[in-house]
Amino acid sequence: MSSAPEEPYINLDLAGTEFRATPRNAQLFTFAGYATLENGDFILNPESRNHVFLETHEPEGDVMRGTYIFLPDAVAKMMPYMIETGFPCRINQRYIQDCDEAAYQTYCDQNAEYFGEQLEDEIPDWMEDGNA
């Protein structure tokens, strides 16, 4: 008699704390083409909002509580495994919920200095000097 197959999982390090993501506590969200926010605004190229949501705390009523992973490289690495092994996936969505957009904006604000440094590294010296 065989035992039940082990539930798929991904071990993650969340700020020094080990977290085991499973289909019961992790979901993949991807966006494509253009997307609409709840307020009706359009976002072109919403792929930057692709994320994995990790339910790290007990829900409060219907509200899930957890952590977002917006890092493109991390999401790209996790995506095939999550799709193939039965994690909940919402692929090529065209609607971004306010809570997801707010989390994305917070992520951008918290990493603005890093993103600015990355952008500065991409600007050629001749453009910084204003000389063509």
Domain residue ranges of the chain, discontinuous segments joined by +:
25-123
**Distances from the Cα of 55 to the Cα of 15, 27, 63, 87, angstroms:** 15, 9, 10, 13
**pLDDT of 44 strictly over 90:** no
Looking at residue 83, its pLDDT comes to 96
Confidence of residue 132 (pLDDT cuts 50, 70, 90): very low
Confidence of residue 125 (pLDDT cuts 50, 70, 90): low
**pLDDT of 21 strictly over 70:** yes
Angle among Cα 38, 77, 102 to the nearest 5 degrees reads 20
pTM, full prediction: 0.78
Confidence of residue 61 (pLDDT cuts 50, 70, 90): confident
Q: Which residue has the tokens 């600015």?
A: 116
Pick from 42-46, 50-54, 87-91, 104-108: least confident: 42-46
Looking at residue 121, its pLDDT comes to 52
